[in-house]
Each structure stands twice: as structure tokens, then as C-alpha cells.
Amino acid sequence: MCGRYQRRSDKQRIAEAFKLGNLDGLFLELVPDYNASPGTMQPVIVWDAGSYASEGMRTLQMMYWKFLPTFCVDPKRFKLSTTNANADKLLESGMWKDSFLRRRCLIPVDNFIEWDRTSGKTKLPWMFAMKDDEPFALGGLWRHWRSPDGGGGMDNSS
């Protein structure tokens, strides 16, 4: 996944674009985020197999954007970059394999930014969006992280 993206769409527009289930019980107001970055809470679309629909349905949840592996003790002090998973190593890596096989998600975005190093320290941002300005999704992986000391936990994605 990229290191920065923008999300202008509110939950209703996301629900319509991705054919999400009922949002009536989701007490969440999504304000636009023009600089979504790792370490922030962001909406993701996950498959809820236990929903009231017999086949399950897509639902919207908020998750912390930084993939925290089981060996992470303190998210604030965890320095390993887990923003991007390399496709060629997903099934080989103990850190990514289980989530790739069982916990994939969609990250709704309106555009994303990639940087091109033109020379030395100079970087040029390139913004990618749909021609019709509709929201689209980036693929992601998630897992539920729990502090090894039995303290707090959270869902997190990359």
C-alpha cells in the first residue's frame, strides 16, 4: 500500500460505492482526510461472515494504520516499517502469511500519492485517482493486536 492517501468520501458514499451492509448502527462520522498516513485511525472494509445475512456482508470499521505483528510489545516504540507488504513474500513471511490467508480488507480512498525521487533529496509527488472521481479501494491486510502483557488491544491494518 502507499504511504499517503486522501479520503474525501463520507460513510454514505463509501457504502454506496462498495455495496456495504446496513450502516444504521455505525455511529461514525467520517470527516475528509487529505493526508491519511500510517499511525492514524482509518476506515476499512472487512467481510463480516457472522452478519445477519446468510452469506455475510461487507462492513465498515475503523482500524489503526500500522500492521502490528504478534511480537510487537509497544506500538509507540515499534520501529519496523509495516506499511507495505511485498507480494512476493506474503506466503513466505510469518508476519504476513496468516493475515493474507484469513484477514484481507479494502481501504477506501479517493486518491493516493506516490513519490518519485528526481535527484538527490528532491522528490516529486504523483497523485493517482479515478477519471470519474469515484472512490476506489486499495488492498490491505489486518490482524487484531493484543499487548503481550494482557493490556489493551486493537485492530490494525496495512
109 pLDDT band, cuts 50/70/90, is very high
Instruction: Tell me the average pLDDT across 6-21.
Output: 90
| Bigger pLDDT: 122 vs 72 | 122
What is the per-residue pLDDT across 47-56, written as a single tens digit (0 to 9) for each?
877 655 556 7
Q: In this structure, what DSSP letter does residue 129 have? A: E
* Maximum distance among all Cα pairs of the chain, rounded to whole angstroms: 56
In the chain, what are the domains? 4-157 (3.90.1680.10)
Contacts of 141 (CB under 8 A, 6+ apart): 67, 85, 96, 99, 100, 103, 104, 105, 157, 158
Q: What whole-number distance in Å separates Cα of residue 90 and Cα of residue 100?
A: 7
Q: Give 135 or 55, the one with higher predicted confidence.
A: 135
Quote the cell numbers at residue 93. 513471511
Q: Structure pTM?
A: 0.82
Tell me the pLDDT tens digit for each residue of 76-91: 788 878 877 778 888 8
